[in-house]
């Protein structure tokens, strides 16, 4: 299991070689007919479809909508979980221990089954989806905050208290920085689940977002590759997940330079040399991007929802491909018994907090 140090350039080449091989296979297999191109379109067709979606179907707007919901949900969950976790973990440890069984049970409540409850309460507007994402993010965050707070070096806390530090300064300057690595770890480990939950929420009830676009695409087949739109949107969703995970990992490395690196992929012990002073440029950039998404994304999402809400029926949906002159659409209903799932995306949004998407 001994691992040699590999030069950075070779490392990059190796990683790119895996990706390149995948792309080549994705293009060649459908072209050669070894894989049925009707079910598995070549990569070039998928990329062309992405370009078409960008041009005709507000793909960028939907992407921003999904990102907005993810960021807003995580921020909301963090605003609740960090203070609660700090209070429970440091000032009320016995209460934290007592409430732990309840927290574990609430964390186990299936977010998909809760989604039906939230959709009923808040309708198919933004509230339900934000609350779903926040709910899913809240429990791992709370768990990691409590754990992080309780693992802070006791000497630091004693020193601060002996100098008469006020509770608010204690929180801001010792507890929060001490728990920060755990907080980021909590977000990173739950990001895959967050995206899955959000996409499902957008599919079940919504008018904007990649999940909505995916669901809509699956009900509309374009020539010559029936599944191309699904692959196109799916590729976008998966790349967002990869990008978010990469951003979070880099944030961890930059902000928490004193912590040893962990990896499931390499048995090599982390280099013992101390990494340099933290580089905050990337963190500031990420924070700016988050603010931009929160402010501009919200407006963009609202506008997109209104645009999609104006459809009087699927017959009015413009063709994503200019070459498709027939305008004919086939309706693949995946759930014949549950008749609502195929049409929920076309219900007009409502300001009423209790109105359901299925009147």
Least Å distance, CB 96 to another protein, is 11
28 binds another protein (CB under 8 A): no
User: Given candidates 128, 237, 255, 293, which one binds another protein under the rule CB under 8 A?
Assistant: 237
Least Å distance, CB 59 to another protein, is 15
* Footprint on residues 300-319 left by another protein (CB under 8 A): none
| Part in contact with another protein (CB under 8 A); list of ranges 127-135, 154-162, 208-216, 318-326 | 208-216
Least Å distance, CB 246 to another protein, is 9
User: Given candidates 60, 239, 295, 322, which one binds another protein under the rule CB under 8 A?
Assistant: 239
Least Å distance, CB 260 to another protein, is 13
Can you tell me the distance from the alpha carbon of 289 to that of 266, in angstroms, rounded to the nearest whole number?
Answer: 31
Residue 337 CB partners (closer than 8 Å, separation 6+) = none
Residues in the chain: 359
* Footprint on residues 36-55 left by another protein (CB under 8 A): 36, 39
26 binds another protein (CB under 8 A): no
Can you tell me the distance from the alpha carbon of 138 to that of 109, in angstroms, rounded to the nearest whole number?
Answer: 13
Distance of CA 186 to CAs 168, 172, 201, 249, 287, Å? Answer: 24, 19, 22, 12, 18
Burial of 232 (0-12, 13-18, 19+ CB in 10 A): buried
124 binds another protein (CB under 8 A): no
* Footprint on residues 240-279 left by another protein (CB under 8 A): 241-242, 245, 264-267
Q: Which residue, 103 or 256, has its beta carbon nearer to another protein?
A: 103
| Part in contact with another protein (CB under 8 A); list of ranges 150-158, 177-185, 207-215, 295-303 | 207-215
Least Å distance, CB 113 to another protein, is 5
User: Given candidates 7, 8, 9, 19, which one binds another protein under the rule CB under 8 A?
Assistant: 19
105 binds another protein (CB under 8 A): yes
One character per residue 147-166, x = contact with another protein (rule: CB under 8 A):
--------------------
Least Å distance, CB 80 to another protein, is 18
Least Å distance, CB 251 to another protein, is 17
Least Å distance, CB 348 to another protein, is 17
1 binds another protein (CB under 8 A): yes
- The size of the interface with another protein (CB under 8 A), counted in residues, is 72
8 binds another protein (CB under 8 A): no
Can you tell me the distance from the alpha carbon of 160 to that of 179, in angstroms, rounded to the nearest whole number?
Answer: 16
């Amino acid at each position: 299991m001994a691992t040699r140090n590999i030069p950075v350039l070779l490392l990059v080449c190796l990683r790119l070689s895996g990706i390149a091989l995948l792309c080549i296979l994705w293009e060649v297999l459908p072209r050669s007919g070894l894989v049925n191109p009707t079910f598995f379109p070549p990569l070039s067709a998928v990329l062309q479809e992405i370009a078409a979606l960008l041009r005709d179907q507000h793909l960028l707007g939907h992407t921003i909508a999904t990102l907005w919901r993810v960021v807003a949900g995580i921020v909301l969950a963090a605003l609740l979980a960090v203070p609660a976790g700090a209070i429970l973990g440091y000032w009320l440890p016995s209460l934290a221990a007592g409430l732990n069984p309840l927290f574990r049970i609430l964390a186990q409540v299936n977010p998909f089954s809760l989604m039906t409850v939230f959709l009923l309460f808040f309708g198919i507007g933004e509230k339900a989806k934000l609350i779903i994402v926040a709910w899913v993010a809240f429990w791992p965050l709370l768990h990691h905050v409590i754990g992080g707070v309780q693992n802070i070096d006791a000497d630091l806390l004693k020193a601060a208290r002996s100098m008469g530090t006020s509770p608010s300064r204690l929180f801001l300057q010792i507890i929060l920085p001490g728990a920060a690595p755990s907080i980021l770890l909590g977000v990173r480990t739950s990001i895959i689940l967050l995206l899955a939950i959000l996409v499902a929420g957008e599919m079940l009830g919504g008018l904007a977002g990649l999940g909505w676009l995916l669901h809509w695409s699956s009900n509309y087949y374009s020539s010559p590759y029936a599944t191309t739109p699904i692959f196109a949107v799916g590729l976008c969703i998966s790349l967002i997940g990869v990008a978010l995970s990469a951003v979070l990992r880099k944030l961890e490395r930059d902000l928490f330079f004193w912590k040893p690196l962990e990896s499931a992929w390499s048995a090599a012990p982390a280099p013992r040399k101390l990494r340099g002073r933290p580089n905050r440029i990337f963190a500031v950039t990420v924070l700016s991007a988050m603010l931009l998404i929160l402010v501009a994304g919200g407006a963009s999402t609202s506008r997109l929802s209104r645009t999609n809400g104006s459809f009087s029926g699927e017959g009015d949906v413009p063709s994503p491909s200019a070459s498709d002159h027939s305008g004919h659409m086939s309706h693949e209903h995946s759930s014949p018994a549950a008749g609502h799932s195929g049409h929920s995306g076309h219900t007009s949004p409502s300001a009423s907090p209790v109105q359901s998407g299925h009147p």
